[in-house]
Amino acid sequence: MPQRRVVTGRSQEPRGRFAEELRQLRADKGDSLRQLGERLGWDWSLFGKMEKGETLGGPEVVQALDQYFGTPGMLLALWELARADKTQFREQYRQYMALEAEAVSLWHFAVSVLPGLLQTPGYAREVLAAGGLKGAELDQQVEARMGRRELLEGEEAPPFRAILSEAVLRTPLRDEVEWRGQLGFVAEMAERENVTIQVLPQSAGLHGLVATDVWFLRLTDGRPVAYTENALSGEIVEENARIERLQRAYDVLRDKAMSPADSRKFILRMLEEAPCDPST
């Protein structure tokens, strides 16, 4: 096993340490990125992004690297530390935002919370506040989230498909007026030509994305990227095999979901059933 090095500077940060180890191990081996890709069977550009700290990759590729470099379990342990580092949640989210801005199509599955592109200011504020934001930071994040909605505006807006778990629509805001406004906004968005909204009924049962929100982006160069998120972490997925598995799970949900027309009727029924403001 290669001699361990003293951890200094940027390498004290878990993601930076992981990327540093990858760069050093490859340099010690004398491989180029392209040679490494050819020998392990992955696109060489993935290793370049891992060495720059732009992505962590998946456990399969890290295990393959451990085996190739003769570092059994070391890289996987560093990968787990980097993946668990909460500071990376925001960094991954920032990277996702940059990718979203250049996407030519977007698909989404929502487990329990509406996607940001479909949120009203009141909904966004309550969701973000529940996550611990407050004061000026909360105001800034609400404003930023509302700015994202411009992505779906205009003639050049990309097509957007959202599958909403029924639980999303069964979890109201504390403010009844804001909740009615949110339901009305979703119904309005469902009428747009570039937006497709489907509701996955609770009767669909358990499925492959039961605890995971996922976005699928198609970038301008045709490259697919996925972003998965739960309450504690988010991850950009660029490996084709993992994206394919997520896509298959998404396709199953799409087949089980209500049609777009029936979904809009369902949302309108929810709006009719929503409590009215007692002051009106």
Q: What is the DSSP letter of 204?
A: G
Q: Tokens 């890290």 label which residue?
A: 62
Q: What is the mean pLDDT of residues 33-46?
A: 92
Query: Helical H runs in the chain?
Result: 14-29, 33-40, 44-52, 59-69, 74-84, 87-102, 121-130, 135-148, 166-169, 176-189, 240-256, 260-273
Tell me, rounded to whole angstroms, the distance of Cα 266 from its chain centroid.
26
Please provide residue 108's backbone torsions phi and psi, each rounded to the nearest 5 degrees.
Answer: -145, 150
Among 42-46, 92-96, 173-177, 227-231, where is mean pLDDT lowest?
92-96
Q: What is the mean pLDDT of residues 112-132?
A: 92
**How high is the pLDDT of residue 88?**
54
**How high is the pLDDT of residue 53?**
81
CB 123 within 8 A of CB 178: yes
Task: Give 12's pLDDT tier (boundaries 50, 70, 90).
Answer: low
Please compute, for residue 204, the number of CA atoms within 13 A of its CA located in the half-sphere on the CB side. 22
**How high is the pLDDT of residue 31?**
94
Q: How far is CA 238 from CA 70, 99, 100, in A?
A: 25, 12, 14
Among 1-15, 80-94, 169-183, 189-203, where is mean pLDDT lowest?
1-15
Q: pLDDT digit string (tens) for 46-73?
A: 899 889 887 788 888 888 999 999 987 8
Higher confidence at residue 192 or residue 234?
A: 192
* For residue 117, pLDDT beyond 90: yes
**How high is the pLDDT of residue 122?**
96
**How high is the pLDDT of residue 216?**
96
Q: How far apart are CA 123 and CA 113, in angstroms?
A: 10
The average confidence (pLDDT) of the chain is: 86
**How high is the pLDDT of residue 10?**
40
Q: Tokens 């298959």 label which residue?
A: 248
Q: What is the mean pLDDT of residues 259-264?
A: 97
Among 14-28, 107-121, 192-206, 259-273, where is mean pLDDT lowest?
14-28
Q: State both tokens at 278.
A: 């007692």
Task: Give 87's pLDDT tier (boundaries 50, 70, 90).
Answer: low
**How high is the pLDDT of residue 255?**
96
Q: How far apart are CA 162 and CA 177, in angstroms?
A: 24
Counting residues of the chain whose pLDDT is more than 90, the rounded percentage is 54
